[in-house]
Amino acid sequence: MPEVAAETLESDYLVVGAGTAGMAFTDALLAHSDATVTIVDRRHAPGGHWVDAYPYVRLHQPSAFYGVNSVPLGRDARDVAGTNAGYYELAGADEIRDYFAKVMHGRFLPTGRVRYFPSSEYVGEGRFVSRLANVSRTVRARKVVDARYVEGEIPATSPPPFEVAAGVRCVAAGGIARVEDRPERFVVIGAGKTALDACVWLLEQGVPASAIRWIKAREARWVNRRFQQPHALLPDFYGGAAMQIEAMAQAASTRDLFDRLEAEEYFLRVDPAVAPTMFRGAVISEGELRLLRRIEDVVRLGHVRRIERDEIVLDGGRVPTSDRTVHVHCAARGLSRPPLRPIFEPGRVTVQPFQWGFVSFQFALLGFLEATIESDAEKNRLCQPIAYWDVDTDYLTAFRATLVNQQAWAAHPAIASWARSTRLNPMTGVELLRDDPSVADSRERIRRFAAGAVSNLARLVEEGGPGPGRDGSREA
């Protein structure tokens, strides 16, 4: 091999990762400073995990809440058919990939302040190497922004976490869209959103529910999309926030809290008879729920360990299979839960969640804070990191952090102004509906119960303990 060509670049920021986190951060930084940015990503195009996503995947939440602040995603239209009918549109994988490409090439690069290096591997100390050419570059930057720290694993790019015997038909979730012959059965392996999407898509294609077996190591709890809507349906969103805060202030235990919110249909579960042990915060519609309840062949014998030609071996037993069955691998770690560290440090920004849900809003806020507040200590006070959610108590921790952070932001005029104006904040626009009776009622409930919710959540988290699954265990 010829000697590696080396180049040294100057930039205020080196952003590692061109997914939602890196792009939302960079967009806010550009809008509120004159900083220069170099973006490095190992994938060939911007968009993070969406570059590898299965073809039928859509956002959990409306497009209005996703992406970067300066470039709207979607048309703010409501779907008229399918399991999302009546709710605001959910962008699919192709639309999201196209969106991030337009942000990069139509918004970032024309500023002259951004350089972008796809297909490049960051190796540390400001240095990255091309994955295609024998080229190495070093960026002398004021700060490195690590947008990969909590990057998860997805089935499309992760091998199955179980053995697969020769001759067994096993594909990742996207593979079922490319099956050319008609299998007798599909076995969907996984308990998370990928598995749910695979089951829904098969049913929507006309596959009989009797031809689907769903293997779950855990039972998941889901958020009802009815309470995650913008614009004309924002009163329902605001009502859902009030519903949660009131329940959090009054609940005698974690179980009581979830019982209250399930009774209000804020939270959903596919099988009401099985207690959930997993909570990743994924959002589904009641239409999807009705489809999923058609599947009666559900196996709950722990994790899959091995698939043989004629049987599937699990932690707690065996079930038969055949060579006319397609096994759909939807089992991956999902969201990552590395050790927490301060988000803002000298020379470094480590992107991590610091409130419940709405990742684009969170990561854009980090970019705004970096651009407008000098002190790392002050920025960290306003955004204390939390782990991504996996079990019920994680939801309590995340929501309490949200309430505490929002109180701090409200006392900071610049942040409060930015939060009211960004399209990524789901609460943007609620003031325009102040004369709506339901909005007024929700506002009063939030005012009355917010302080009690903060204190009671601390007690519930302490009593609830860490719970199962906090080791980042895989979905299946």
| Residue 395, CA atoms < 13 Å, CB-side half-sphere | 20
Stretch 66-85: mean pLDDT, rounded?
A: 97
150-207 tens-digit pLDDT: 987 777 678 899 999 999 999 999 999 999 899 999 999 999 999 999 999 999 999 9
432 — pLDDT class (breaks 50, 70, 90):
confident
Structural tokens at position 436: 């709506």
Q: How far apart are CA 103 and CA 110, in angstroms?
A: 10
Sign of CA dihedral 144, 149, 152, 156: positive
Stretch 226-234: mean pLDDT, rounded?
A: 96
Count the Cβ atoms, other than its own, within 10 Å of residue 393: 22
| pLDDT at position 69 over 70 | yes
Q: How far apart are CA 364 and CA 80, in angstroms?
A: 31
What is the residue type of 100? Answer: F
307 — pLDDT class (breaks 50, 70, 90):
very high
- pLDDT above 70 covers a percentage of the chain that reads 96
Closest CA to 69 of 429, 416, 415, 360: 360
Query: Which pLDDT value is given to residue 264?
Result: 97
Closest CA to 56 of 189, 144, 175, 161: 175
Question: 312 near 318, Cβ under 8 Å?
Answer: yes
Q: How far apart are CA 69 and CA 28, in angstroms?
A: 7
Could you give all domains of the chain from N- to C-terminal order, each with its CATH number?
A: 5-148+338-386 (3.50.50.60)
What is the residue type of 51? Answer: V
| pLDDT at position 434 over 90 | no
DSSP 214-244: EE-SS-B-EEEGGGS--GGGHHHHHHHHHHH
Stretch 115-127: mean pLDDT, rounded?
A: 97
Give this prediction's pTM: 0.94
1 — pLDDT class (breaks 50, 70, 90):
low
